[in-house]
Amino acid sequence: MAAQKSPLIKQQDARSSMHPALQIDEVCRAVAQECQDWQSTLCALAKTCRAILDPSLDVLWAELKSMIPLLLALPSGLLALKPDMATRRRVFPHTMVYEFRRPLEQADWNVLVRPQYTRSILDPSSFALEGNALEALTEIGNLFPSLRTLTWTDPSLSQDTITALSTAICSWRYLEDLHVAALDRTAFSRLIQLPVLQHLYLHAPLRGQMPARCVPSALEKPFPQLKTMHLEHCAHGLTDAAQILTEIDGRVSFSEFFASTFGVPRETDLRSLIGTVAAKCISNTLTSLTIVEDRFSAPSIIRLSGFTITFVTLAPITSFRRLETLDIDTERNVSLGDIELLELASSWPLMKRLIINPLNGWRAPSRVTFCGLAALLGLLPRLQVVHIAVDGCSTTEIAPLESPKRDAANGILLEVVDLLDSRVGDNIADVAACLAKALPAPRTYKVQAWTAVNLHIRANMDPESGVFSKRWEEVFSEPLLPL
């Protein structure tokens, strides 16, 4: 009888029959990396031979679309899918609720070796953890020591889940991108000092008490690498976002700030947040500022005279000389004239997107003339999108405002000029002539008015608004005079 080969000899024979290139670990990892977008191919590749098994598994575990693969890797019988509660099913019909049948032991964690290479967990919000499962959640910080990205946006997180998740977040040293529905103040204070965090998406307000603050030294600053901060769904209005910024010791240097609220707005909310942003953000780094105020909670309240965006409201933003995007979306009235608008715009020479109340318009009659519109477009040569209302009822000649004229090359940069809910007179030809003189050539961009969904509804319900909408259609159908 022929002697049987030992396992070691079999493994050596297998490797000798492989292409020499696949015997190089770096080549195997490069091949696996190329297949990262085709999971089925990657799984098949992992089954071909031991040499390429580990590189393929590393890529497969690098990004989890959910927590389900992790749960399925646990010992059989440890985890059970709990019958969903009726109330949760009505609100979140696709949510699955898991529970552990016993507390986790060290042997259970030892099964999970590969997840230590996981760098991204994306939106595991289709399931909920309760009871002993919360203990597992606090341990995922140790289970994923190299985690770079976490997205967990379930709005129904309980306080226990928030605490457990926050505990896990505190242990991650390499976190770069975090998007969570809620966070406690202890975890937030840890994130302030995290040197690699670049993008933070957080629902406000923070939970719990803020721990003793760590005042940065002269060589340190809060959020040293943060580029983007989104504070979403502020429950008590924009003051929630302002409060979070206030709790940061020192000034931050991120380039993009976004705040939105579903709470009933108060008169001073917008001005307070803008003032706080100006006080807490380093002026030469912020390039994008977006503020969205709830448009459904109390429209009859915010149309009062005190709920108005004026030059005083926006003046603190003039300190950001590198601002490229300003997008403010509210139901408040807007009261700005030529001089005020141009004084604001002169502080933003790099502005590309100037958008004020794009969905609901300015409501109050605009004091920005066609001459002011022309001056604005000349003052901001990089402007691509502008949403402002103008006074289309006044077509009298006004002395030209001092500002550089946009040339043809700069005119090409424009994409949209939206005149929102601008009022307009019945002198259609005169309005068309004034608009033609205000707009730069060549006209390869879109010019529109009364087109936003909310404005279209308003035009159908309010006779006066409907008249203005139809008149603008007539203006745009007129052959515009050459510049």
Q: What is the mean pLDDT of each run of 10 residues along the chain (483 residues)?
A: 48 56 73 74 75 74 68 70 53 59 66 54 48 58 76 73 84 88 89 93 80 50 93 85 92 94 81 95 95 66 69 96 96 93 96 95 92 92 96 69 45 85 92 88 87 83 88 87 42
* Separation in Å, CA 399 to CA 335, 371, 379, 437: 22, 8, 16, 13
For residue 281, the 8-state DSSP code is B
Whose CA is closest to 366, among 343, 347, 394, 346? 394
307 shares its domain with 414: no
Query: Is the residue at 42 inside a domain?
Result: no
Residues 434, 392, single domain; the answer is yes
- Whether residue 91 lies inside any domain: the answer is yes
Residue 294 lies in a domain: yes
Residue 378, in any domain of the structure: yes
Phi-psi region of 201 (alpha: psi -120 to 50; beta: other; left: phi over 0): beta
- In this predicted structure, what is the pLDDT of residue 443? 78
Can you tell me which residue has the tokens 């379930």?
154
Token couple for 71: 């749960």
Domain identity same for 187 and 327? yes
Give yes or no for a contact between 117 and 53, defined as CB atoms under 8 angstroms apart.
Answer: no
The whole domain housing 226 covers 183-335
- Chosen domain end from 275, 310, 335: 335
Q: How far apart (Å, rounded) are the C-alpha atoms in residues 452 and 403?
A: 30
Per DSSP bridges, beta strands 149-152 and 288-292 are unpaired
Length of the chain: 483
Question: What pLDDT does 138 receive?
Answer: 65
Where does 159-308 have alpha helices with state H? 159-169, 185-192, 239-246, 269-280, 299-302
Same domain membership, residue 188 and residue 159:
no
Question: Measured between alpha carbons, how far is 329 from 14 in angstroms, rounded to an integer?
Answer: 65
Percent of the chain as helix, strand, coil, to the nearest 5: 40, 15, 45
Task: Say whether both 213 and 136 belong to one domain.
Answer: no
Q: How far apart are CA 264 and CA 332, in angstroms?
A: 13
Give the angle subtended at the CA of 199 by the CAs of 195 and 205, to the nearest 5°. 100
Residue 304 DSSP one-character state = S
Residue 295 within a domain: yes
Among residues 311, 316, 309, the alpha carbon closest in space to that of 268 is found at 309
* Shared-domain flag, residues 89 and 204: no
HSE value, Cβ hemisphere, 13 Å, CA-based, for 219: 0
Question: Are both 196 and 161 inside the same structural domain?
Answer: no
How many of the other CB atoms lie within 10 Å of CB of 121?
21
Q: Quick one: tokens of 17?
A: 């029959």
C-alpha Rg value of the chain to the nearest Å: 29
Indicate if 324 and 465 belong to the same structural domain: no
Query: What is the rounded CA–CA span in Å between residue 150 and residue 128?
Result: 16
Residues 396 and 467 in one domain: yes
Question: Residue 36 has what pLDDT?
Answer: 73
- Classify residue 336 as exposed, middle or buried by CB count within 10 Å of its CB (0-12, 13-18, 19+): buried
**Whole-prediction pTM:** 0.78
d(CA 468, CA 422): 8
Indicate whether 255 and 302 sit together in one domain.
yes
Q: pLDDT value at position 344?
A: 96
> Helix, strand or coil for residue 112?
coil
Quick one: pLDDT at residue 34?
76
The answer as to whether 327 is a domain residue is yes
Convert 53-69 to b/e letters by CB count within 10 Å (16 or more is b).
ebbbbbbbbbebeebee
Among 275, 307, 335, give the residue marking a domain's end: 335
Please indicate, yes or no, if residue 6 is contained in any of the structural domains.
no
What pLDDT, on a 0 to 100 scale, did the predictor assign at position 96?
Answer: 61
Closest CA to 336 of 306, 366, 377, 370: 366
CA distance 20 to 464: 79
One domain, residues 191 and 330 = yes
Peptide bond into 216 cis (omega under 30): no
Split into its structural domains, the chain has a count of: 3
Reading the block at residue 228, the tokens are 């983007």
State whether 480 and 434 are in the same domain.
Answer: yes
